[in-house]
Amino acid sequence: WENAFISPLFDNENNITHFVAVKEDITEKKKMLEELITARDKAEEMNRVKSLFFANMSHELRTPFVAIMGFSELLYETLENPEHKEMAEGIMNTSNRMLATLTKILNLTKSEFEKETALQSEVDMIRLIEDIYRQFSVAAARKNVKLLKNIKFDELVMHTDGNLVSEILNNLVNNSLKFTEKGSIEISAQIIIKEKKDILELKVTDTGIGIPKDKQDLIWEEFRQASEGTTRTYQGTGLGLTIVRRYAEILGGRTYVESEEMKGAAFIVELPLSNYTEKVIDK
């Protein structure tokens, strides 16, 4: 392959007398470009295959887990022997944990390979927060932890992706519940103004073990926890907060944490508000 440039030379009477030709061998450049295009196409195909694989995995693995959970719950209700009931409860708890782990891995992978975008619709934030509150009420009561909510508006309907916001709160409350042995967990929501922009601030505050200052950045990374290693006290994949940050970024928001070791933690998500209606409570 050659790249050629030809230019005429003129005399004083503006007649063409000569031509100047400059040639460059671009065979290697052409070859490199073709290799890059091939590599890009292969990468895109690989991402497509991975997305299809994880979609199939989601169906093939979740379906049996849901069946196991359903049958074990039915078994638990019909058993009378306390020892047998305890075994059935163990099956339910293990299945729940495995399903939650699988869901987090699949959600994270989906956001990586499919470049997930927000599916905008009108979302009633009061109802969404109430649903999360009810979802975790029983689990909090079992641990003797008070679950509180503090919503500083009477009404808020915003244009956003309700599923992503729900997953954000779900993971935050679940994380706080895991690391809080006594005291309380509070889900709060309010509208604030930052840089002359309306922001929805979602906050989950707990009285748990807290996070050392030097570990507050790594908790947002994949498979990382403030307590790590084989001797770590708390179980989990270390994916919940990673998903929170990734989903917040998809929604155009940001996340941060305020915490001190052994003094609890406040996990804060700020989401931009647009096309919304609200009523603010006087507090």
In tens, the pLDDT along 126-144 reads: 999 999 999 999 899 989 9
Write down the pLDDT at residue 283. Answer: 42
- Whether residue 106 sits in one domain with residue 141: no
- Whether residue 237 sits in one domain with residue 99: no
- Whether residue 130 sits in one domain with residue 97: no
- Whether residue 235 sits in one domain with residue 176: yes
Indicate the pairing of strand 146-151 with strand 184-194.
parallel
- Whether residue 47 sits in one domain with residue 155: no
- pLDDT tens for 247-276 read 999 999 999 999 989 899 999 999 999 756
- Whether residue 162 sits in one domain with residue 98: no
265 lies in some domain: yes
Last residue of a domain, one of 113, 143, 161: 113
Task: List the domain range (segments joined by +) for residue 71.
Answer: 29-113
- pLDDT tens for 30-85 read 899 999 999 998 888 877 777 677 667 766 777 787 888 888 889 988 999 999 98
Interval 2-26 mean pLDDT: 87
Q: Which two tokens stand for residue 135?
A: 């979802």
Write down the pLDDT at residue 119. Answer: 82
14 lies in some domain: no
The 8-class DSSP code of residue 281 comes to -
- Whether residue 131 sits in one domain with residue 109: no
Q: Which two tokens stand for residue 283?
A: 């507090």
The length of the chain is 283
Interval 210-239 mean pLDDT: 66
Interval 152-180 mean pLDDT: 93
Q: What share of the chain is helix, strand, coil (3-state, %, to 5)?
A: 50, 25, 25
Return the number of other C-beta atoms located less than 10 Å from residue 202's C-beta: 25
Write down the pLDDT at residue 182. Answer: 94
- Whether residue 126 sits in one domain with residue 85: no
How much is the mean pLDDT over the chain? 84
38 lies in some domain: yes
CATH of the domain at 263: 3.30.565.10
Please tell me which of 61-70, 151-160, 199-208 the model is most confident about, judged by mean pLDDT: 199-208
- Whether residue 145 sits in one domain with residue 88: no
User: Based on the structure, what is the number of domains in the chain?
Assistant: 2
238 within 8 A of 218, measured Cβ to Cβ: no
CATH of the domain at 91: 1.10.287.130
199 within 8 A of 274, measured Cβ to Cβ: no
Q: Quote the radius of gyration of the chain (alpha carbons, Å).
A: 28
pLDDT band at 244; cut points 50, 70, 90: very high
Q: Between the CA atoms of 79, 84, 87 and 93, what dihedral angle is there, to the nearest 10 degrees?
A: 20
Asked if the model's pLDDT at residue 217 lies above 60, the reply is yes
7 lies in some domain: no
The span from the CA of 92 to the CA of 67, in Å, is 11
Write down the pLDDT at residue 128. Answer: 96
